[in-house]
Amino acid sequence: MPADRNALLGWARRWSVSPTASEAVHHRVEEGPAVPPFTTLPAAVRDELVTLPLAALAELRELTDVVPASRRRLAQLVPGRAPTAPWSVLDAVDQAVCVADVRSADSPLVYVNPAFTRTTGYRESDVLGRNCRFLHAGLDVPGADAELAALGSSGGEVAAAVQRIRELLAAGASGEVVLVNRRADGRLFVNELSLSPVLGADGAPVHYVAVQRDVTPLAVARRARAQLAEELDETARAVQASLVPASLPVVPGYELAAGYSPATRADGGRGAVSGDFYDVFPGAGGRESSWFATIGDVSGRGPRAAAATSALRWALRGAATTRSSPAALLTAVAAAVHEALDDRFATLAVVALPPLPAAGAADAAAGAPPAPVRLALAGHPQPVLLPASGAPRLVGVPGTLVGPFAEVEVVEVEVALAPGDQLLLYTDGAVEAFDPRGAPLGEEGLLEVLAALPEAGRRGPGAPARTAAAVGAAVARHVDGGAVDDLTLLVVART
C-alpha cells in the first residue's frame, strides 16, 4: 500500500524533515518494499533520518508500514521478532539499541541493532524473545560487590538502577539510568541507558526503545579520580596535622586551647590544604623562661602553601633560641624567609608569656598582679583581650606583612593579663566569614560574640576551650551552610 503523499509531507513538516529527505522516502516507498532500513536512500538522507527522535521514526513506520511477503517470512525465522521489523531503520545507528514489546508477557525484546551485538556480544538470535534482564543477572545482589568494585559500583547500586527502570516502565515515562551490565563473554561494562516509550493509538506504550552507551572508560576514569582525590585528602590531612603541634604543652600559670577547622566548599567538600598554623614553644632559656605562642597564615593553598608554612613554623622555633622578644623574633624570621616565600606572603602574631608560678583559685582570689604579656604582629589580625569581667577589646598594632620585604616594621606592645583574662589569637577565617548576603562577620561581630559569653564561663578550667568553641559555632551560624575559610584559633588564659 503506497504511503499517502500528503500525510508524508505533513510528517516532514512536523519533524522539520527536509523536502529532499521526504521526497526520497516517498519515492522509495512507491518503487518497492517500504520497510526500513531504506538501504537505497542517498547517504545524506539516511544520516538525516537516523538522527530523528524515536517518536518521529515510529510515526514514519505507521505511514510506510508495508511488509512484503519475503520480509515477513524472514522475520518469522527469528522467534519473537516483530513481524514487520520496522525498527531496523536503527540498524545504521552507532549506539546500541534494543526494543521491547511491553504489551507482551515479560516484555520480550523484538529488535536489536548491530551496535547492540558489538557492545554486548549477544547476537540477535540469542536475545530476541527474551526479557533484557539477562544483562544484569546476578549483579543486583550484595554478593556481586567485589566484582563490581573495580567499576565503582555495588550490588545495591545495580538493584536501585533496576528498580528505577521498572518505575519508568510502569509510569510510561522516559528517563536515563546508569548501571553495570555483563557482556556475553562475562566481562562487565557500564551502561548508560536511555529509555523512551513508543505510544500506540490508545496513548499507552506499545514498545520501549533503549539506547545504550558503553561509558566504562568514563566510569573507570571517574573512579580513578575519586581514589586520587581520597588519597590527596588523606595527604592534606597529614600535611595539615604536621603544621601544628600534636598537643599543646603545659605552661605554668596559663591554660591554652586551640581550634582548627579546615576550609569547606559550599557543597560540603574539603578545600585544599591551607597555610594556617599555630605553635607554642619555650624561649631561649628553656622551659623556665618565657614561652612563645604564635599563629600565622601563609597566602594560597595546596602543597606550596603547606611547604612555606612548615618553613615559617620552624624558622620561628629556630629564631626563638637566640631572641627573647616578639618583635625581634618577627624581624629575624622575616629576613630569613623573605626569599623562601617567593611570591607568597604571610601574617604572623607572636606572644611572649612571662614565666609564672602555677596559681590556684586562692591566688586568683588574693588578687595576683597581671602578667605583662608582650605582643607583636606582622600584618596579622589584631587579637582580642577577653577580660574575666568586662567588654572585650582588640589589642596590638598590625605591622608589616612577612614575605614581600626582607625588613619589616613591627610594634611590640604589652598587654596586662590578669587572672581569668584570655587572649584570643585567630586567623582571618574568623572575621572574613561571609553570610549568604555577602556580609562578613568582621571584627565587630567577633567582639559581639565574645561579649555575649557569660562571665562565669570565662573563668575556671576549660574556659579557653569554651571560648574557642563559641567562636567556631558563631562562624558556622554566620555562614549558614555556605563556604567557610580555614579557621584557626589559639586561646591563652591566665589562670
pLDDT digits (tens, 9 = 90+) for 235-244: 777 777 777 8
The predicted structure's pLDDT at residue 27:
80
On whether the CB atoms of residues 468 and 295 are closer than 8 A, the answer is no
Q: Is 289 exposed, middle or buried (0-12, 13-18, 19+ CB in 10 A)?
A: middle
Q: What are phi and psi of 401, to 5 degrees?
A: -60, 150
Domain boundary, last residue among 35, 67, 99:
67
Q: What is the mean pLDDT of the chain?
A: 85
More confident residue, 437 or 365: 437
Report phi then psi at 427, rounded to 5.
Answer: -95, 175
Give the per-residue pLDDT at 379: 95
Q: Is residue 331 part of a domain?
A: yes
- How far is the C-alpha of 53 from the C-alpha of 10, rounded, in Å? 16
| pLDDT given for residue 360 in this prediction | 53
> Is pLDDT at 75 greater than 70 in this prediction?
no
With a cut of 50, say whether residue 13 has pLDDT above it: yes
Q: According to the model, what pLDDT value does residue 488 have? A: 93
Question: How high is the pLDDT of residue 36?
Answer: 42
**Residue after which a domain boundary falls, among 49, 67, 85:** 67
Q: What is the pLDDT of residues 479-493, one digit of tens each?
A: 988 777 788 999 999
Domain carrying residue 51: 1-67
| C-alpha pair distances (Å), 489 with each of 109, 297, 492 | 65, 11, 10
pLDDT in tens, 194-205: 999 998 888 889
pLDDT beyond 90 at 478? yes
Of the residues 67, 96, 115, the one at which a domain ends: 67
Q: How does residue 76 score in pLDDT terms, banded at 50, 70 and 90?
A: very low
Q: What pLDDT score was predicted for residue 46? A: 76
Q: How confident is the model at residue 454 (pLDDT cuts 50, 70, 90)?
A: very high
- What percentage of the chain reaches a pLDDT higher than 70? 87
Residues 303/239, Cβ–Cβ less than 8 Å: yes
How far is residue 38's CA from residue 64's CA, in Å, rounded to a whole number? 11
Q: Tens digits of per-residue pLDDT, 390-422?
A: 999 999 999 999 988 888 999 999 999 999 999
The answer to the question of residue 405 being in a domain is yes
Cβ distance 275 to 300 under 8 Å? yes
pLDDT at 88: 66
pLDDT for residue 70: 37
- The yes-or-no verdict on residue 31 having pLDDT over 50 is yes
Look at residue 344 and tell me if it is in a domain: yes
Q: Does some domain include residue 119? A: no
In a domain, 296, yes or no: yes
Read off the pLDDT of residues 310-331 as tens digits, 9 standing for 90 and up: 888 999 999 999 998 999 999 9
The answer as to whether 196 is a domain residue is no
Bin 268: left if φ > 0, else alpha if -120 < ψ < 50, else beta. Answer: left
Section 256-277 average pLDDT: 76
Which has more pLDDT, 243 or 62?
243
The reported pLDDT for the residue numbered 100 is: 93
Does a structural domain hold residue 127?
no
pLDDT in tens, 380-392: 999 999 999 999 9
pLDDT at 354 over 90: yes
Look up residue 486 and give its DSSP letter: -
Average pLDDT for 60-72: 52
Comparing 57-66, 375-384, 456-465, the range with the smallest average pLDDT is 57-66
Count the domains in the chain.
Answer: 2
Q: Which of 29-33, 83-87, 247-251 has the lowest mean pLDDT?
A: 83-87
Identify the pLDDT of residue 177: 96
CATH number of the domain at 474, please: 3.60.40.10
Give 208's strand partners: 100, 197
Is 143 a domain residue? Answer: no
End-to-end, the C-alpha distance of the chain in Å comes to 101
Considering the chain, what percentage of its residues have pLDDT values greater than 90?
55
Give 270's DSSP letter. Answer: B
Instruction: Write down the pLDDT at residue 270.
Output: 60
DSSP label at residue 88: G
